[in-house]
Chain A
Amino acid sequence: MATQTDFRSQIEQYLLRLRTALGRMPDAEKAEILSDIRNHIEERLSDASAGQAEIVAETIAALGTPERLAESFQRERLMARASVSAAPTALLHATFQWALTGLRGFLVFLVLLFGYSFGLAFLACALLKPFLWNHIGLWIDPPAFTLGYISPQLHGAHELLGWWIIPIGYILGPLFLIWTTRLVQWLLRRRSSRTLEAL
């Protein structure tokens, strides 16, 4: 029969594993989460006059393994940061973490990289065209396209848009950045709602 020391030790072991599994989360937030879980278990215990060891075992089973619980906290936290903030660093971090888990995440990460790259390239072209007019633009050297800086004499490429790259760059650049941000935020939210743990 389990003694009080046994189940107290079980709680501490669970919390220790949870603390380790929470990884590089800020200490304050980690402490907050550990307090939440500790108090939840205590709350369950305060309800039961007998069979406390069983209550602890049931509660820990309902919480899931510390590693899985920590993963849920990290995932939700990451999604919250990415969905609240449109900061490129937050989105890059969230999608990079997703990319580590599989092909779908990797594709979303590529979408983000390409979207940002095109957006920045269009803006850079619009900004620099007046100063480097014979080097900056949208160039074609079949079958390749180049958006940005090129030495046309060297590659034999010819320009497609000419000075139109300036208005087009100023329009498409921000649109690429905004659309990419919104698309990735939407994908992250969608993933978050789909991957919540079982009820």
Chain B
Amino acid sequence: MANKSQAPNPPAPDNWDAQLRKGCLELAILASLWAEPLYGLAILRALHSRGGMEVAEGTLYPILNRLRIDGLVTSEWQDAGTGHPRKYYTLTAPGRLKAKEMAAAWTDFSAQMDEILSALRTKGKHHGDAN
């Protein structure tokens, strides 16, 4: 019979990291539209170039569709002279308000986490260190 370990499952930092980024994705998309209207691919590129965030294409469009239904963005097809139209997404007034609220919440949360994590950066002894 195999000797089963009683230890809990090991942590999964990759999964945790993915979950964290997913939670922030809506805010990141709203923020990418703050300065100017963008089309889908341009949003992906903006997220990548400004924050190094890689977002799957199959993730972006359903969220954009939801933001549109929620009234946080509007969309408009424009002829970009590329042979096919582009759909530009623009933040609405409620979208701007929501982005500001989410950004404020993020800033508060980030400051709290910084404070908590400062303990990891101090050079004090570990609790279990020998004298």
- Give A residues with C-beta under 8 Å from B: 33, 35-37, 39-40, 42-44, 46, 59, 62-64, 68-69, 72-73, 75-77, 79-81, 83-84, 193-194, 196-199
Known: A43-B84, A72-B62, A75-B62. A81 touches B69 (CB 8 A): yes
A84–B70 alpha-carbon span in the complex (Å): 6
Residues in A whose Cβ lies below 8 Å from that of B19: 194
A195–B70 alpha-carbon span in the complex (Å): 18
- Give the residue name and chain of the B residue nearest to A196 (CB): B22
A/B interface sample: 11 pairs, CB < 8 A:
A33-B61, A35-B87, A40-B41, A43-B39, A43-B82, A73-B61, A76-B63, A77-B65, A80-B69, A84-B69, A198-B22
B114 at the interface (CB under 8 A from A): no
* A interface footprint on B68-98 (CB within 8 Å = 1, 0 otherwise): 0111000000000011111100000000000
Query: Would A43 and B59 count as touching, CB distance under 8 A?
Result: no
- Give the residue name and chain of the A residue nearest to B53 (CB): A199
**B98–chain A nearest beta-carbon distance, Å:** 12
Query: Would A40 and B82 count as touching, CB distance under 8 A?
Result: no
B40 at the interface (CB under 8 A from A): yes
Known: A36-B61, A68-B58, A193-B23. A43 touches B40 (CB 8 A): yes
Query: Would A198 and B87 count as touching, CB distance under 8 A?
Result: no
Q: Is the interface of A mostly helix, strand, loop or mixed?
A: helix
B54 at the interface (CB under 8 A from A): yes
Q: Which of A39, A64, A72, A199 contacts B86 (CB 8 A)?
A: A39
Q: Is the interface of B mostly helix, strand, loop or mixed?
A: helix
Query: Would A42 and B63 count as touching, CB distance under 8 A?
Result: no
**A76–chain B nearest beta-carbon distance, Å:** 4
A62–B61 alpha-carbon span in the complex (Å): 12
B117 at the interface (CB under 8 A from A): no
Question: For window 15-54 of chain B, which residues contact chain A by CB distance below 8 Å?
Answer: 18-19, 21-23, 25-26, 39-41, 53-54
B56 at the interface (CB under 8 A from A): yes
Residues in B whose Cβ lies below 8 Å from that of A59: 57
Most chain B CB atoms below 10 A, which of A46, A69, A193, A196:
A196
**B8–chain A nearest beta-carbon distance, Å:** 21
Residues in B whose Cβ lies below 8 Å from that of A36: 40, 61, 64-65, 87
Residues in A whose Cβ lies below 8 Å from that of B39: 43
Query: Would A69 and B40 count as touching, CB distance under 8 A?
Result: no
